[in-house]
Chains A and B, each alone.
Chain A
Amino acid sequence: MLPIEWEVLLLGCLTATACGIVGGLALLRKQALMGDALGHSLLAGIGAGFWLLGSSRSPWLFPCAVASGLFAIMLVEFLAKQLGGNQATALGLIFPAFFSIGIILISLAPKSAHIDLDRVVTGNLDLAPLDRLMVDGHDYGPRVAWSMALALGFIGFYLAAYWRHLHWILFDPAGAHAMGLKPDRALSILLLLTTCVITLAFETMGTVMVVSLLVAPGATAWLLSRNLTNYLLFTVAVSLGAALTGRFATLAIDASTTAATSCAALALFGTAFLLAPQEGLLARWRASIKIRERLDARLILVHLWHHEIRGDSEIECLASALTHHLNMPEVRLNKALNRLVKDQLAEKNGPLWQTTTAGTLLGRSLVEDDTGSRED
């Protein structure tokens, strides 16, 4: 038997991985908020199941929760159509209503069958291993860990079965349909898996913080990868990283493991958001400065070339008047002109700036390439 600290860690890893994968797939379909909606909606099923079954430990609560989550998603899609395709409003209407029903039902239930209302929102990874899987008096470890492992197995099976067609199904369902791939069925199964994972994770992560485990790994991976295989590998890596960091952070500070795991996932995302080699904020910022400098030089070149072929370069290409015509600060202009001279694309001829032969060719090809690229 594992000591309870390790069980918490194992449970965190399983939960994070399962959430990361299903959330990552939903993210690719631009349904990041669906997890939030599902997490809130399934509470209505739990509340109703609670009253019907009279117990907070009945295994039948799980199908109740899954059913109410799926029902809410169906309602959202129906309502979004009614509202003229406005999915945000439909989400904003449906899931709080389901959530409210759930909270009212749970609050009004007799104390004897009590579930802690706070745990619904905050989750509690630390206490989850207290719920053991007992068969014939044997203790087989935390129950949620087993169910989560089973769910992970199903996810693995799903990915293996649909792997070759996953691109089509996620990226272009209509095209997949035209190929005879039955994307509707594949996406419905995925939705069912997602709902099951969120329902299982609900107890450990709560309704809100499960969202960061669903979205952050996928979002991080998207900033770092170029293809689906890498995307999923990165997703799993970030999920595991979050679970490990979260667990070990709580050894140092006294805080909820759920919150720490969730924060760790977001911290990993934040790091990637700032530092990712190509998509990161810093890289983009640096690239945009470079592009801007190159562009300044090129636009001066095009300006010179334009007016040379138009024959009014005596007015437009005067060194003293360039800053006025282009409405560009002197510093920027001089930097760009120096660059042009260094690259031997333009030269100063008396009071006028002129393109060199290479400059003329480049100026023309710049403009015409841009024109041409739009033709097809």
Chain B
Amino acid sequence: MPDFAVIAGCALAGILYGLLGSFSLARNQALLGDVLSHAAWPGLVLMLGLTGSRNFAILGIGACLAGMAGMAILDLLGRGSNRLKPDARLALVLSGFFAVGMLLARPVQSIRPGSQGHLQAFLFGQTAALVWSDVMVIALVLALSLVFAASRWRDLTALCFDPVWRQTTPASNMATSPLLDTILVLGIVAGLPVAGVALVSALLVCLPVTARVLTKRFLPGTGLAMLLGGLLGASAPWMVMGLESLAQHFHGDSTLRLPTGPVFVLAGSICAAGALAFRYLARSRAKATGAINHAAN
């Protein structure tokens, strides 16, 4: 039986990803999350080096600042030469911030002995180490995001669907877009202990993609993505346990540890693949029947 804190943390993180992912998918920023999570990495490392704290709430502050810096540099690169295409800018920021974090990692480990394992947990997500204070951080960010989304829902819809038109309405005075970016950074950082730097962004994509295939409106779609995220998150620790014992049964090695992130992501990806396959089959069947009807006529 997994720890209750682990289940709660994963479920809350899943709900959070479903919500934030719906917005970033609708704004065609599926890869921004990937860049931001890697950008948060040097912040985590540096904060650990500076404070020596193991408290995620403190490390998270560093990660958020680094994430914001990543977003600012992405913006700066966009102001430079036109020869720098958007995909190149994303790739440079992603790998650059991660490399800086890795450069700092060894010096930090030498001044803070024993921190290596702690940092590793953030790479792939190590929910076994999840404690109630981490869960509280996730819950707090989720609450903040929910309040923000609920209060600004209409403006968010307009921003996601037609930002240019929104700019011409009185709503353009509201700072919804920078707030959404900030919340995205907060959400990504809050989810790091669950899914890890490498895989947080995947959940921002696969949950809303699944929901989008199954619904045709934004609000129910977002709700569905959150529901799916919550369900998968709550069941991920069990899946991890199942897979671990399966592997143990297979080769009898009981010391192995499976990180939660990949399992969560794989479950989400399977859902997305299932939904897309369902749509693909439905479409090709519709095409086939259309062709038959056409021939019959």
Within 8 Å by CB, do A and B touch in the complex? yes
CB-based contact A259/B25 at 8 Å:
no
Q: Are B85 and A211 in contact (CB under 8 A)?
A: no
Within 8 A of A (CB), among B75-92: 76-77, 79-81, 83-85, 87-88, 90-92
Chain A residue numbers with a CB within 8 Å of B256 are: 107-111
Q: How far is the CA of A219 from the CA of B31 in the complex (A)?
A: 19
A91→B87 CA distance, assembly (Å):
12
With A108-B256, A263-B103 known as contacts, the answer to whether A208 contacts B94 (CB < 8 A) is yes
Question: Which residue of chain B has the shortest Cβ distance to A104 in the bound complex?
Answer: B262
B134-154: CB near A (< 8 Å → 1, else 0) gives 000000000000000000000
Which residues of B sit under 8 angstroms from A260, Cβ to Cβ?
A: 103
Contacts of A207 in B (CB 8 A): 198
Inter-chain CA distance A280–B276, complex, in Å, is 43
Cβ of A36 and Cβ of B99 under 8 Å apart?
no
**CB of A215 closer than 8 Å to a CB of B:** yes
Interface: A76 (CB within 8 A): no
Main secondary structure on chain A at its contact with chain B?
helix
Distance in Å: Cβ of A208 to nearest Cβ of chain B:
5
CB-contact partner of B269 in A35, A93, A218, under 8 A: A93
Could you mark each residue 160-176 of chain A with 1 if its beta carbon is under 8 Å from any beta carbon of chain B, else 0? Answer: 00000000000000000
User: What residues of A have a CB within 8 angstroms of the CB of B257 in the complex?
Assistant: 107
User: How many B residues have CB within 8 A of the partner chain?
Assistant: 67
Contact with B along A20-43 (1 / 0, CB 8 A): 000000010011110110001000
In the complex, chain B residues whose CB is within 8 Å of the CB of A279 = 80-81, 83
Alpha-carbon distance between A222 and B88 when the two chains are bound, in angstroms: 11
Report B-chain residues with C-beta under 8 Å of the C-beta of A79: 276
Contact residues of B between 272 and 288, Cβ < 8 Å to A: 272-273, 276, 280
B173 within 8 A of A: no
Q: Is the CB of A263 within 8 A of B25?
A: no
Q: A212-B92, A219-B92 are in contact. Are A255 and B103 (CB under 8 A)?
A: yes
- Which of A27, A30, A117, A259 has the most C-beta atoms of chain B within 10 angstroms of its own C-beta? A259
- Shortest CB distance A212–B (Å): 4
Assess the A111–B202 pair: CB atoms within 8 A.
no
Q: Would A263 and B100 be within 8 Å (CB), given that A27-B88, A107-B259, A215-B95 are in contact?
A: yes
Q: How far is the CA of A97 from the CA of B202 in the complex (A)?
A: 8
A93 to B88, CA, bound (A): 19
Contact with B along A264-296 (1 / 0, CB 8 A): 001001000100100111001000000000000
Residues of A within 8 A of B102 (CB): 122, 209, 256, 258-259, 262
Q: Taking the nearest CB of chain B, how far is it from the CB of A335, in angstroms?
A: 25
CB of B99 within 8 A of CB of A259, answer yes
Inter-chain CA distance A137–B24, complex, in Å, is 57
- For residue A96, CB closer than 8 A to chain B, the reply is yes
Given known A-B contacts A32-B90, A92-B201, A208 and B98 have beta carbons under 8 A apart:
yes
CA distance A208 to B204 in the complex (A): 19
Q: Is B188 an interface residue (CB 8 A)?
A: no
On chain A, which size bracket covers the interface?
Answer: 35 or more
Knowing A32-B88, A88-B30 are in contact, say whether A280-B262 is a contact too (CB < 8 A). no
Contact B91 A35 (CB under 8 A): yes
Q: Please determine whether A259 and B253 come into contact, CB atoms closer than 8 angstroms.
A: no
- Whether a CB of chain B sits under 8 angstroms from the CB of A192 is no
Q: Give the CA-CA distance A176 to B98 in the complex, in Å.
A: 38
The answer for the CA separation of A97 and B210 in the assembled complex, in Å, is: 14
Q: Is the CB of A92 within 8 A of B202?
A: yes
Shortest CB distance B292–A (Å): 23
| Cβ B80 vs Cβ A254 within 8 A | no
Q: Decide: B87 and A103 in contact? CB cutoff 8 A.
A: no
User: Is A341 an interface position by the 8 A CB rule?
Assistant: no
Write the residues of chain A forming the contact surface with B, with a CB cutoff of 8 angstroms: 27, 30-33, 35-36, 40, 79, 82, 86, 88-89, 91-93, 96-97, 99-101, 103-104, 107-112, 117-118, 121-122, 207-212, 214-216, 218-219, 222-223, 253-256, 258-260, 262-263, 266, 269, 273, 276, 279-281, 284
Complex A-B: 14 CB contacts under 8 Å: A36-B95, A89-B28, A99-B202, A100-B262, A103-B124, A108-B258, A110-B252, A111-B253, A111-B256, A112-B253, A212-B92, A215-B88, A266-B95, A266-B99
